[in-house]
Structure 1
Amino acid sequence: ILFSVAATYAQSGEITGRVLDASGEPLIGANVAIQGTTQGSTTDVYGNFTIRRLENRQYTIVVTYVGYDEMVQNVDVSGATDLGTIYLTPSMLFLSNQVVISATRRAEKLTETPATIQVISSKQIAELPSFNPGELLARLKGVEFVRSGVVGTGVNIRGFNSNFNAKNLQINDGRYATLIATGLPFGPLSTIIKEDVDRVEVILGPNAALYGPNAHNGLVNTVLKDPRATPGTTFALGAGNQSMFTSRLRHAQKINDKWAFKIIGEYTRGEEFEFADSVYIDRQDAAGNPGPDGTPEGYEELELDNDFEFLKGGASVYYSVNDDSDIILGYTGSNSTYLAPTNVGRNQIIDWKLNVFSLKYTSPHWFAQAYMTTSKTDDTYAIDERTKQYYRLLDAGMSDSEARGEQSYASGARFIDDSQRYNAEVQYNNEFGDFALVTGAQWQRDLANSHGTYLLDKNEEDYIQIDQVGVYAQGEYDFGGGLKATAAFRGDNHEVYGFNFVPKVGLVKSVENGAFRLTYSEGIAAPTILNMYGNLFSGLILGNAEGFTLNDGSAIEKQKVEKIKSFEIGYKGQAIDKLYLDANAFYNMSEDFLSPVTVVGVTTQRGDQPISEVQSGYGVFGGLVATYVNFGQIDTYGFDLGLNYRFSNKVNLDFNYSYFDYAVDEDNLEENDFNNDGEVNKLDVLVNAPTHKAGIGLNYSDSKWFGTVFARWVQEYDYFSSFQIAAETQDLVYRGTPVVEDARSTDTWNYGPLGGFVDVDLGLGYHFNEKFTLSGQVTNLFDAEFREFTASPFIGRLYSIELKINLPEIK
């Protein structure tokens, strides 16, 4: 008996702990082993583990997880020993089983998500010698990446791109990263810096069931770093051609077991590529006589400023309520000046300020957050319209200095924004045996104010207020044998366009080293505040929140949401030794497209209000209105293929290919003949995407050297977006002008199709030691002349060099 008691006492020790990644997400199924024995454990859905029945002595534990570097730690066991939180670092290559959160709003292995999801890892971000991590989106399959200049990068997913594309939702750490009035992604206005990004998760296809309106074609979720997982100070200095200079700082510190904080800052400046777009103007002299030949003439953009400048800053404080729960208070802000392409020419963005204030609570079962976003600019303007007004004033007899003054903005060129958005969310998740539940509710209030410059507000006191609320729920059941089923739904009620229900269902069958998936999902793209309450160019363009009555008595219905239904099948996993495969095929059915600006005719009313009381330029336009409508039905389909071959732990090869095409009923003129020309063609459906695109990259990384060579091919394709056109010569008429390459097209110049290029990028870096890293890259290595977007310059070679200093945590 005494021997038995002694043996039991000797084995009363245990080791507990929690395993997380650098962003603070739990790593599910991580292996925790006692070195030299068969004893060990695996982590649960919260990252927790326990190893019991240990003798009281010293052990060496090894924590491993596929896609992460292993962690080895010596532990002295005396009774119950808690190791606290263990953070694993992503390995240099091959991240096949990385944990993601975007697909189901809960941590899960990348291979087991019921969606096509791709990850840009912290390693890839850290080794990019650029201030703009968005450049890495060009290396993902299924993503239509465009570079609109030195700083401008944009993404679209699976077709229907435009210069005002609000169909791909972008979020930063669970917060909407979209402008309030236009719904556009922050883009260069972003308030975060590269050094604070842990990873970027990109979902191809709709995910509106969990994230709400505008997670329509896809979702880009940027996950930020937890200061407790990534303490220390990082300082980066970079320079390159186009007079580019950047300096960035991140400092993160764990003060004690309860408190931690981080601060970030960035200053970046440079010059855009030399390019002046053509602006076409109907010129008349003071007597009303036409110009020399009676036709519009092309002029360069007035007072074009190619300089760009970005200033960013922020801070967050983390308080640990207990081992599993945190309260996080944060702020980020930015002030940005640059050139931005739009579908009516370029905008001169001047001192556009964004601020995001957030409060968040996280625990194993509960998540809650509230945040406020503010947007303010006083001097941003449309270069195209200001240029036209300048020449109108000259023709009216004004002097050059007078025409360049305040009157040059009088026709609606200036955009003032003084808007706010309030968001709140609460979420609950739990597991009940083999069933996992996630449910939550979101509330949003938009307060848009343009001081009467581009919205139907009257002055700085007259906010356009719109409320919306959404509820969502998702259940996941594990049948065993590697088979899981997921079902989700979301209900949204919007003050203007009403209630919408969005479902999603999926099956995942895990096999050895991978999983197959089958998913059905729906999505909606919602009209933005600009779509609903826009007031551009003295009321020539008006928002369609209430519908219009034409002078013949017929009605234009108010705009409603665009809908998509999507079927997808895919596989993700290790196909053979050293080869990782990610493949999917999809079929989408879309209807009720949100149209670009279109002329609907002479109107008498907007809603119940006479048009003469709405349209400030009624004396000129006489009720002629361009607005936004719904139209059309179209099916799209395609597939994406991604391969990753690991030659060794230092070298791997990436390859991706995407195919995209569409089918439309050309006999359905009532719904699909958007421009009312009596036939259905590409000018109605506006797919604006290449059929084929591919990329291939060779990557190397060891303890000292790292580098990559990446080549991207994009097939040539035609592009149409309001005033903007990029197309080959063909027997079509767009906005009253024949489609002719390298010629004028009504309001702008048609330089020819987009795409049709091979772009090669080269990067190389060296770690001198743990503190100092020097790296450089050349984008468009062979200086191939190509244009990726309309209202944008031709892209030339860009090169940059960056010194990064990493200082250890202050104890």
Structure 2
Amino acid sequence: MKKSVILASLLSVVFVSAQVADSTRTRDIDEVTVSSSRKVQKVVDVPATVNIINAKDIQQFTSFNVGELAARQKGVDFVRAGVLGTGINIRGFNSAFNSKNLQITDDRISTLVATGLPFGTFSTVIKEDIEKVEILLGPNGTLYGPNAHNGLVNTISKNPFKSQGTIIALGAGNQNVLTSRIRHSQEISKKIAYKLAFEHIQGTEFNYTDSVYVNNIAYPELDLDRDFNSTKFNGQVNYKVGSLSELVAYYGHSNNNNIAVTSAGRNQIKDWNIDELQLKYLHPRFFLNSYYQWSNTEDTYAMNQRTQNYVSFINAGFSPDVARERSYMEQWFGASPTAGIALQRGSRFKDDSKRWVAEGQYNNTWGGFTVIGGAQFQRDMAFTKNTYMLDFNGPINVNQFGVYGQTEYKIDGWAFLAALRVDKHDYYGTNLLPKAAITKKLGDGTFRLTYGKGMAVPSLLNLEGYLFGGLILGNGVGFTLSDGSKINPLQVETINSFEVGYKGSLHKKLYIDANAYYNLSENFISPLTQLATNGRTVTHRGDTPLSQIPGANPAYVLTYSNFGKVDTYGVDLGLSYYFTDAWKGVVNYSYFGRKMDKSDMANDGNKDGKVLDTDLPVNTPANKVTVGLNYSSPTFFGAVYGRWVQDYDFFSGVSTAAKTQDLDGNGTIDITENAYYAPARTWNYGALGGFTVDMNAGYNFSNGMTVGANVSNLLNADIREFAGSPFIKRLVSLEFRYQLDFFKNKNN
């Protein structure tokens, strides 16, 4: 009752404060997208579910963290891992190491080379330079390549010809948050325009220490640093080659210090740098693109492993200074400094990885017939200086080549689409990704029926990992055991997705986007499993004797394998109602379910002889609802959103959050809330989910100045949104934004 009264009061305040005014808001049915078919289309016409966060949404969101806007989108599982960290998942199978959603920024893959994880806060693009973010639900790998398994997040920055001027933004908030941003863009001549951008964010993470257990005794994370900061800058030059073409050159850089959650505990990110250099050619019919990315860190480390190492030295009688220094690379096995042995258990992660991509595309339309074709080459060069990859002989170079084609025919309100992608990868061979769709115009909307295949490729860490001194080895070439049995190399995880949907206006003020889907998934990449069981040992990794891999123990090797299959299904519903041009109400609802045969031992992911939910963790809420109200006028703007996520269990390595329950149905409680969970060696704070309210508001002055405020978790609900993360408290930020009128501004 108290929450509903507070929310109603807030809505009343917004209504009373607002003045009736005209608005330039783009209505949902008028939005355009480029992500579905890599060409401009009205969002109502595309054969996919697309969420669009446009420039106005971003400008009126008075917080430094644009990622929070994903919480307001239908079909998206949004999580906050702390003050800085946010993330999303789409349609199931989330984890603390999730690489199943492909992220693209200005036609650049925005993922780390070695791990496959999204850049997130590592991005080199600042908030003021984002034109829009498009989120596609479901497999979209046909045009974009592997790892658009569950969905695609496409960030598009502003063109300096169309968006000129200087914007300065300053912000502050609790948790010692300070942020400053500046973007300048100018047209030098009719042929040349450029833009420059800079951003710095700093603050302090919530007061939370993830306990590390050694022999069932809890220890705090060693040398935990809760202060975070991120600095980024970029520059771009656009040159018009004739009346239709542009040549674009871009360079961006980011430096990052923060805490990241993984399946093996939390990582202390220290001075992790990302650099990107890109050159592309744009034409209505042609697209050529090439870019080079490099990643570098020398001092990042795994807090869990380092703490275990430190405790082993302290318990053996070493001094704290010696224990702290040796904890980066070694673990002590023995009762005293003179009785024991130090084994390599490296906790420090170094990275000097690089990626080069080149691609081209052609499209054309003849009457109702459209064709799109293209090719992509990607070379990943992973190099971790032997700290978490098997790169003892230098960088691990992996090539991938893909070609794709798509045709679409439109006639009498019908549209028929067929597409196919062929990918050839050095490790997992040749794979086909087909896609098909039928759409029909119905009134002011479109009905669609689609099929698509997606694949989640093993990351280079899955394939060539070498973590904690050989405790974990990647499975890119397979293993041989002492009894002669073989463990097959990892292959791709696949999903076949069928979807039916409708989007359009039911009448002038009500817009609907609804879909139902059914997915067939198989060949999951397993959690880490122990190979040496039943008296067997590991003799070879591929053709290499295990004795030639430093630190590897034939009796204890953890790796990944493929297993099982499961069917998933769900519904996403989005409703937008325009009370006036200024007032917009939003209701989003999603349901997710699954069907898994627990009698099929192929679904036994950890090979313990029984199939449990923890073997194939879906890590997804069954139901979630978002209700929002937006107001936008030339002067005042504001929004209130309430979000409810049904409680759900989350299992991902040591990252565990679940309700008290009997996991295997034998009548014994296996996991208890607010208690130590021995299998994961971690504390279980209980299931994730809950109810939160977010609110933002601001005022535009006539001189180009804007002031605003944003409050996340307005009611200060005591919830956790991600395993291995702190309880998320209220976050308040105030922001001042000033737009200088030195230059004509065409689209800001």
TM-score range, shorter chain: over 0.9
Q: Which moved more, 1:673-682 or 1:128-137?
A: 673-682
- Matching residue of 1:346: 266
Q: Partners in 1 of 2:275 and 2:150 — Cα distance? A: 27
Which digits, 9 at most, give the CA deviation of each residue in 1:535-570, with x for residues without a partner?
Answer: 001111000010011222211100000010000010
Q: Partners in 1 of 2:327 and 2:81 — Cα distance? A: 30
- Matching residue of 1:84: none
Pair 1:392 & 2:392 matched: no
Q: CA deviation at 1:732?
A: 2.6
Q: Partners in 2 of 1:522 and 1:489 — Cα distance? A: 10
1:93–1:652 CA contact under 8 A, matched in 2: no
1:733–1:739 CA contact under 8 A, matched in 2: no
1:206–1:215 CA contact under 8 A, matched in 2: yes
- Matching residue of 2:687: 753
Q: Partners in 1 of 2:408 and 2:88 — Cα distance? A: 31
Q: Partners in 2 of 1:739 and 1:458 — Cα distance? A: 41
Which of the residues 686, 691, 694 maps onto 2:617?
686
Pair 1:705 & 2:640 matched: no
Q: Partners in 2 of 1:808 and 1:547 — Cα distance? A: 62
1:160-239 pair list within 5 angstroms: 160-239=93-172
2:661–2:669 CA contact under 8 A, matched in 1: no
Q: CA deviation at 1:214?
A: 0.2
- Matching residue of 1:449: 383
- Matching residue of 1:608: 543
Matched letter for residue 612 of structure 1: S
- Matching residue of 1:647: 579
Matched letter for residue 573 of structure 1: G
Secondary structure (helix, strand or coil) at the match of 1:123 reads: helix
Q: Which moved more, 1:538-547 or 1:598-607?
A: 598-607
- Matching residue of 2:482: 551
Q: CA deviation at 1:733?
A: 6.8
Q: CA deviation at 1:600?
A: 2.2
Which digits, 9 at most, give the CA deviation of each residue in 1:54-77, with x for residues without a partner?
Answer: xxxxxxxxxxxxxxx99xxxxxxx
Which digits, 9 at most, give the CA deviation of each residue in 1:575-594, with x for residues without a partner?
Answer: 12300000000000000011
Q: CA deviation at 1:315?
A: 0.3
Q: Partners in 1 of 2:326 and 2:595 — Cα distance? A: 49
Secondary structure (helix, strand or coil) at the match of 2:648 reads: coil
Q: CA deviation at 1:511?
A: 2.2
- Matching residue of 2:289: 369
Which of the residues 317, 320, 323 maps onto 2:243?
323
- Matching residue of 2:565: 633
Matched letter for residue 610 of structure 1: P
Which digits, 9 at most, give the CA deviation of each residue in 1:321-374, with x for residues without a partner?
Answer: 111100000011100000001111110000000001000100111100100010
Q: Partners in 2 of 1:379 and 1:730 — Cα distance? A: 40
Q: Partners in 2 of 1:784 and 1:665 — Cα distance? A: 37
2:90–2:138 CA contact under 8 A, matched in 1: yes
Matched letter for residue 266 of structure 2: R
Which digits, 9 at most, give the CA deviation of each residue in 1:389-438, with x for residues without a partner?
Answer: 01111122210111112444332100000000000001011112221111
Which digits, 9 at most, give the CA deviation of each residue in 1:625-674, with x for residues without a partner?
Answer: 111110011000010000000000111100100000000122222x1122
Pair 1:118 & 2:38 matched: no
- Matching residue of 2:232: 312
Matched letter for residue 351 of structure 2: D
Matched letter for residue 532 of structure 1: L
2:388–2:467 CA contact under 8 A, matched in 1: yes
1:65-214 pair list within 5 angstroms: 91-214=24-147
1:474-485 pair list within 5 angstroms: 474-479=406-411, 481-485=412-416
Secondary structure (helix, strand or coil) at the match of 1:684 reads: coil
Q: Partners in 1 of 2:397 and 2:102 — Cα distance? A: 21
Q: CA deviation at 1:91?
A: 3.4
Taking structure 1 as reference, are residues 237 and 546 closer, same or farther at Cα in structure 2, changes over 3 Å only? same
Q: CA deviation at 1:791?
A: 1.2
Matched letter for residue 204 of structure 1: L
Which of the residues 199, 202, 210 maps onto 1:277?
210
Q: Partners in 2 of 1:227 and 1:180 — Cα distance? A: 29
1:93–1:649 CA contact under 8 A, matched in 2: no
Q: Partners in 2 of 1:594 and 1:719 — Cα distance? A: 17
Pair 1:401 & 2:321 matched: yes
Q: CA deviation at 1:131?
A: 1.2
Which digits, 9 at most, give the CA deviation of each residue in 1:248-268, with x for residues without a partner?
Answer: 011111111100000010011
Q: Partners in 2 of 1:423 and 1:517 — Cα distance? A: 33
- Matching residue of 2:718: 785
Secondary structure (helix, strand or coil) at the match of 2:615 reads: helix
Matched letter for residue 578 of structure 2: R
Matched letter for residue 378 of structure 1: E
Q: Partners in 1 of 2:609 and 2:298 — Cα distance? A: 44
Secondary structure (helix, strand or coil) at the match of 1:682 reads: coil
1:231–1:808 CA contact under 8 A, matched in 2: no
Q: Partners in 2 of 1:589 and 1:681 — Cα distance? A: 19
Q: Partners in 2 of 1:258 and 1:582 — Cα distance? A: 41
Q: CA deviation at 1:173?
A: 1.1
Q: CA deviation at 1:93?
A: 4.7
Q: Partners in 2 of 1:678 and 1:422 — Cα distance? A: 43
- Matching residue of 1:468: 400
Q: Partners in 2 of 1:508 and 1:202 — Cα distance? A: 20
- Matching residue of 1:419: 353
Which of the residues 591, 610, 619 maps onto 1:659?
591
Higher radius of gyration, 1 or 2: 1
2:647–2:688 CA contact under 8 A, matched in 1: yes
Q: CA deviation at 1:770?
A: 4.6
Q: Normalising by the residue count of structure 2, what TM-score does the alignment of the two structures yield?
A: 0.92
- Matching residue of 2:8: none
Secondary structure (helix, strand or coil) at the match of 1:709 reads: strand
- Matching residue of 2:657: 726
1:231–1:809 CA contact under 8 A, matched in 2: no
2:522–2:563 CA contact under 8 A, matched in 1: yes
Q: Partners in 2 of 1:280 and 1:326 — Cα distance? A: 57
Secondary structure (helix, strand or coil) at the match of 2:156 reads: strand
Secondary structure (helix, strand or coil) at the match of 2:672 reads: coil
- Matching residue of 1:32: none
Secondary structure (helix, strand or coil) at the match of 2:311 reads: helix
- Matching residue of 1:525: 456
Secondary structure (helix, strand or coil) at the match of 2:531 reads: strand
Q: CA deviation at 1:730?
A: 1.1
Q: Partners in 1 of 2:540 and 2:404 — Cα distance? A: 38
Which digits, 9 at most, give the CA deviation of each residue in 1:487-518, with x for residues without a partner?
Answer: 11100000111000110000111122111111
Taking structure 1 as reference, are residues 403 and 733 closer, same or farther at Cα in structure 2, changes over 3 Å only? farther
Matched letter for residue 258 of structure 1: K
Matched letter for residue 608 of structure 1: D
For structure 1, the 5+ residue unaligned runs are 1-68, 71-89, 283-295
Q: Partners in 2 of 1:174 and 1:380 — Cα distance? A: 28
Matched letter for residue 604 of structure 1: T
Which digits, 9 at most, give the CA deviation of each residue in 1:782-807, with x for residues without a partner?
Answer: 11110011111110000000000011
Q: Normalising by the residue count of structure 1, what TM-score does the alignment of the two structures yield?
A: 0.85
Q: CA deviation at 1:809?
A: 4.4
- Matching residue of 1:674: 605
Secondary structure (helix, strand or coil) at the match of 2:706 reads: strand
The Cα RMSD (Å) is 1.6
- Matching residue of 1:302: 222
2:706–2:736 CA contact under 8 A, matched in 1: yes
